[in-house]
Structure 1
Amino acid sequence: MNMIQAITSALDVALSRDDTTVVLGEDVGYFGGVFKATEGLQKKYGKTRVFDTPINECGIVGVAVGMATYGLRPIPEIQFADYIYPGLDQLVSEAARLRYRSAGEYTAPITVRTPFGGGIFGGQTHSQSPEALFTHVAGLKTVIPSNPYDAKGLLIAAIEDNDPVIFFEPKRIYNGPFDGHYDRPVQPWSKFAESAVPGGHYTVPLGKARTVREGNDITILAYGTMVHVALGVIAESGIDAELIDLRTLVPLDMATIEASVKKTGRCVVVHEATKTGGFGAELSALVQEHCFHSLEAPVQRVTGWDTPYPHSLEWAYFPGPVRLTEALKRVMQD
């Protein structure tokens, strides 16, 4: 399975196991979603469990909060993460606070699926990476898979979780892996993204990172598409780097990060979002707090530029192999 197929399979499993699970969003029904992640689900489960909504993100999330309070387990899709902002108040002020403000009487088992990031020439309004906004909100969980196996397992775990989860799907790798270079085909070593995906039910626990590659020279912290960029750089640079795929930003597996950085003594963080206020700043601070006496060099961040998303300069905006290689060499020289 590619990632789209794995996500469809996860939704199929969830719908088949729990009659309270419903899927809603723009074009998710008959059309099967703009990326075809919900294709065939309405035909299989009917229009009351997989249904289209108006183009109204505030309404989509608000209805999902009401459904969750009533006892359902909604999975709203926001067609692109760039359009999630009208629903932000419902997520921050309602979904994230529901368990606390009701003293545990109500929960908000909502999983908001949304494609994020660039790589499809979507321009300024179809390419943003707003994950850091949600990690700042107490009560929300933030999940970002990097491969089909994790995408299915993490999505099922998110759906079965009783708290609200924002599930960001890196659309650059929806249809298969790549080697970190945006202008050439997949290389055969990129097996990490080609692992078999079981057809039935399984979960990947939230809050547990994955060590993609063990190494001794430096720790690379990445998630989503940037895991593949890092894999490509490691394969070509000759640097014995340890690569950690965070998988979930909240809850964060700090134990795995700390153990890796204390072993290598060096750390580089890479993410696609803009640098200022990005999640890399939080990771850098945490590494400094937990691993200060083990660090041999300052933590480096490799990120998108602090500019509006540039349509015509998309590949220059991405933190690609050249910039990540330069950062690794700088840290190794310190």
Structure 2
Amino acid sequence: MTVTVNIEEVAKGEPLLPRSGACAAPLPEGHAAAAIMIGGYVETPDKKRSGTNEAWTYERGGGWKLVQFAEGPVPGPRIASQAVLVGSNVWLIGGWDPSQQGPSAFLDDVWKLDTADWSWSKVDLEGSELFGGGISRFQAEAVGNNIYIHTHRCSDHILLLDTAAPRPALRRLAVTPDPEAGAPSARGLHSLTRVCDGLLLFGGAPQSGPMVGDLWRLDLASLSWRRLTPAGPQPHVRCSHIAAAVGPSKLLVVGGAFYGASGGLEMLGDAFAYDVAKNEWEAVQPAAGGALPSPRNAAVGAALRGGSGMLELLIHGGWRAFVESYSDTFILTI
């Protein structure tokens, strides 16, 4: 089965540099803007790249606007971090500071951004040692006041950040492996997306060896893993893709990259939807006259809900490895 999507390239708003490796989150319902993008690698016209701590909001019909933070402490530049919305606050977790060398480049800090006045506060996190001195290329997903975090170290557990505790606390939750397939192998640059009452983990890259294209489901009630073997067209192995929930029972995957025969990164410009009820992958094709964004990885993706009542996926920027970064913006409606 093929899923048809509408794709529209939209106005940019204020000028912003091409970037990749940023993180993004939706903003609370009723906010003037629909999503926020934080950090990333920015690329100047002479092709020099550097990390940034900028934040930009996206407003339907108005494009991008640079956020002016309130006075006070702000997080430093970072890429490959995660941003999630909990209530009216955006939580920013970890990442990698490309201006630093060695272990100090990997960050273990957690920050909270108040979306009412754009003020940052650094979170005094209990259990931060569980980050192992720093994390990047991991995945995080908010469920209520809890943030589930999956890193390349999560072979027998998953991390949970309780944001509602008097002192926000990070702890390990033991997980039950699939009786036949075990648990997902160590990886980063994968995706972790809440669909139905579970978390779907797809793809990624291990610290060494080939990339993967396997699909797993973590049941949140029993904290047990199940390796899924869907029917339908199988997506290529990939990392650094965009993933988003579609309605109550589908996962959308867009773009990413994989190691080609020569050993270099090759970009992907395709899209697939996984149907939980059918346990089936479906190819995604643009509506007549449209086209998916050009092949790229490390783009920003954020689900914009409301308006049409359908999934509107904001896609911005990304990287064609060692060639160029992008500054274009698309809305994919499914």
Q: Please say whether Structure 1 and Structure 2 have the same fold, judged by a TM-score greater than 0.5.
A: no
Normalised TM-score (structure 2): 0.28
More helix by share: 1
More strand by share: 2
Normalised TM-score (structure 1): 0.28
